[in-house]
Chain A
Amino acid sequence: MIGRIAIFASLVATQVYSQEHRELGAHEHGVGQMDIAIEGTRLWMELHAPGADIVGFEHAAGNADDRAKIDSAVALLARPLDLFVFPSAAECTVVEAKAEIEAETHEESGEEGGHDHDEADAHDDDGGHTEFHAEYALDCANPSAIDRIAFAYFETFPNARELELQVLTETGAQAFEIERNAPVLELAGRS
């Protein structure tokens, strides 16, 4: 009987919980998402990377040291051509670049629970995941020369292991996984 009450109570609890809480996206440490779209001479890129990949922690910046790390990471992320190296023949220039850090959950409410880490987490007790988000608009005078992109990103951010990449060109959409040990995207003969 007590067991039933407990189950009932937990059901009620989840229902109440689901009403005030929305949902959580996928979050895997070491793995970021990146989208690249090319149309004409315009190139649009968007990067979403877990805080753990970029600065090595995901708790709210509590002290000046953390804040400095986040600031310098955002500054690094705002320079796309240093992170993603296009062939010089493509003559790409940055039209717009913005980077920011965003909390994925209601970070201030602290303990939320209910989210699973893909990896053992010995590091955060305060629940919220943070994510770095960057958007870039590039202009490439010679986009057909983009036959490869080198991901210096992995050198800049040693905690990043993998980028899941979606590339959209004239010929359609393709997905790639760029890993730390082979940080180059070959587009020759594909685009």
Chain B
Amino acid sequence: MILRLAIGSLLARALTVGMTVLAIALSVALFLGVEKVRTGARASFADTISGTDLIVGARSGSVQLLLYSVFRIGNATNNVTWESYQDIATRPEVDWIVPISLGDSHRQFRVMGTTPEFFDRYKYRGGRALTFAAGHSLGDLYDTVIGADVADTLGYAVGDPIVVSHGLASFTAHSDQPFRVAGIVAKTGTPVDRTVIVSLEAIEAIHVDWQSGAQIPGKTTPVDVIRTMDLTPTAISAALVGVKSRLQVFKLQRWINEYPEEPLLAVLPGVALQELWQIVGIAEKALIGVSAMVVVTALLGMMAMILSSLGERRREMAVWRAMGARPATILSLLVLEAALMAAAGAVLGVALLYAGLALARPWVDATFGIWLPIEPPDVRELWVLAGVIAAAALASLVPAIRAYRMSLADGMMVRI
């Protein structure tokens, strides 16, 4: 009965109520959206590397090493000499080791030199292995394997030629030694999608005629001569290491960190990520705080709307009183109206959020490489929604108590 009254009363004032509901909906969508992006970004990062026990690079910071070697974000770390790499590779604790060499690019995509073992060892999203959507792994010296985004964006298919550029700016091209697309890796949602993978030897090969970043004029070594050359690299950017037993990980980490011949750094990917979150966490908290304030603002707006409506509804209240409604009924009517508005706002907000996610997802994925999952709201989010409705009911107590008092004092006699 009272519910029907409340709904009827809200519908009668559809425009102002609608605006209030919209304000609540937008604030709820913003609050939940911030949370979605935050957890989505974290999950994307955490899913990018799995099964790797240690990342080894030149001594820098653990976050920098992780970001550069795995996510190709941020400043380049120093290189690691091939001798040190060999030293680590021959350690008894090491189960497998995959070198990574960065520094060249193809169009807007990074080129990564590695060994074919990378495709077996690199795991993402809880242990999933890379699979080939087309073609095969690295075989020939001039083979490349490209990520799904590279293939999509540039329209490459298996067998197409590729020219790799020196450094990140594409003004100097290694056009004398074109590569061929040998395989395309199926979409992973990791930076591999945006990477052109070549063999470590190929990275050496394209730099045969280059010295300190520029091509030696007039000198081009024919491709068949390069093929006969010793293309053992002199340096790599980083290495992914798998350790035989978990119990030996820390021992190896310490050994690498104390390696006397070269300042090296070994980090546990999970720990480095956690360190990153500690830094990012402060900004995240600020973001959550701001979006929570937006929710509070919307609820205050609703309270102001109800308060200002009391004047107009004085006669309505008086009629209810005349029809036998007790002051408590009027109080509960107003609280119920507010809760209904907040509930409508919450539902609409969730709808807005999912619509927004569906629209923004491809763009966010392509631009930032963050895959936002579209899942039904989890328990935490449901609690947030319940909290918004409860807060709305609580906020409406201010006008409701006022109306309660007025209806006691006014009785039937409304003097306006």
Question: CB within 8 Å of B: which residues of A?
Answer: 22-23, 25, 35, 37-39, 42, 44, 46, 137, 166, 168-170, 172-175
Nearest residue in B to A39 (C-beta to C-beta)?
B246
Sample of 11 further A-B pairs with CB below 8 A, known A46-B254, A170-B246: A22-B260, A25-B258, A35-B250, A39-B247, A42-B247, A44-B247, A166-B268, A168-B268, A169-B246, A172-B270, A173-B270
Q: Which 4 A-B pairs have the closest CB atoms?
A: A173-B270, A173-B268, A35-B250, A39-B246
B247-A37 in contact (CB<8A): yes
- The reply to whether the CB of B183 lies closer than 8 angstroms to some CB of chain A is no
- The reply to whether the CB of B316 lies closer than 8 angstroms to some CB of chain A is no
Offer 20 A-B interface pairs, CB within 8 angstroms, sorted by A. A37-B247, A37-B250, A38-B246, A39-B246, A39-B247, A42-B247, A44-B247, A44-B250, A46-B250, A46-B254, A137-B247, A166-B250, A166-B271, A168-B246, A168-B250, A170-B246, A173-B271, A174-B270, A174-B274, A175-B271
User: What per-residue 1/0 map shows which CB atoms of B220-257 lie under 8 Å from chain A?
Assistant: 00000000000000000000000001110111011000
Smallest Cβ distance from A18 to chain B, in angstroms?
Answer: 12
Nearest residue in B to A166 (C-beta to C-beta)?
B271
Nearest residue in A to B254 (C-beta to C-beta)?
A46
| Bound CA–CA A37/B247 (angstroms) | 5
| Bound CA–CA A39/B246 (angstroms) | 6
Most buried by A among B250, B269, B275: B250
Smallest Cβ distance from B391 to chain A, in angstroms?
Answer: 29
Q: How many residues of B contact A (CB 8 A)?
A: 18
Smallest Cβ distance from A43 to chain B, in angstroms?
Answer: 8
| Bound CA–CA A26/B274 (angstroms) | 20
Q: Which residues of A contact B271 (CB under 8 A)?
A: 166, 173-175
Nearest residue in A to B246 (C-beta to C-beta)?
A39
**Chain A binding site: helix, strand, loop or mixed by DSSP?**
strand
- The reply to whether the CB of B263 lies closer than 8 angstroms to some CB of chain A is yes
| Bound CA–CA A174/B258 (angstroms) | 22
| Bound CA–CA A168/B50 (angstroms) | 13
User: What per-residue 1/0 map shows which CB atoms of B269-283 lie under 8 Å from chain A?
Assistant: 111001100000000
A39-B245 in contact (CB<8A): yes
Question: CB within 8 Å of A: which residues of B?
Answer: 50, 245-247, 249-251, 253-254, 258, 260, 263, 268-271, 274-275
Nearest residue in B to A171 (C-beta to C-beta)?
B270
Smallest Cβ distance from A24 to chain B, in angstroms?
Answer: 11
| Bound CA–CA A174/B269 (angstroms) | 9
B246-A175 in contact (CB<8A): no
Q: Which residues of A contact B245 (CB under 8 A)?
A: 39
Q: Which residues of A contact B270 (CB under 8 A)?
A: 172-175
With A172-B270, A173-B270, A174-B270 known as contacts, the answer to whether A37 contacts B246 (CB < 8 A) is yes
Nearest residue in B to A36 (C-beta to C-beta)?
B250
Q: Which residues of A contact B250 (CB under 8 A)?
A: 35, 37, 44, 46, 166, 168
Q: Which residues of B contact A173 (CB under 8 A)?
A: 249, 268-271
Smallest Cβ distance from B104 to chain A, in angstroms?
Answer: 31
Nearest residue in B to A43 (C-beta to C-beta)?
B247
A168-B249 in contact (CB<8A): yes
Q: Which residues of A contact B275 (CB under 8 A)?
A: 175
Nearest residue in A to B261 (C-beta to C-beta)?
A22
| Bound CA–CA A101/B250 (angstroms) | 19
| Bound CA–CA A66/B128 (angstroms) | 55
Nearest residue in B to A169 (C-beta to C-beta)?
B246
| Bound CA–CA A172/B247 (angstroms) | 12
Smallest Cβ distance from B60 to chain A, in angstroms?
Answer: 14
Smallest Cβ distance from B157 to chain A, in angstroms?
Answer: 37
Nearest residue in A to B274 (C-beta to C-beta)?
A175
| Bound CA–CA A22/B268 (angstroms) | 25
| Bound CA–CA A170/B249 (angstroms) | 13
Most buried by B among A22, A137, A169, A170: A22
Nearest residue in B to A35 (C-beta to C-beta)?
B250
Q: Which residues of A contact B268 (CB under 8 A)?
A: 166, 168, 173
Q: Which residues of B contact A137 (CB under 8 A)?
A: 247
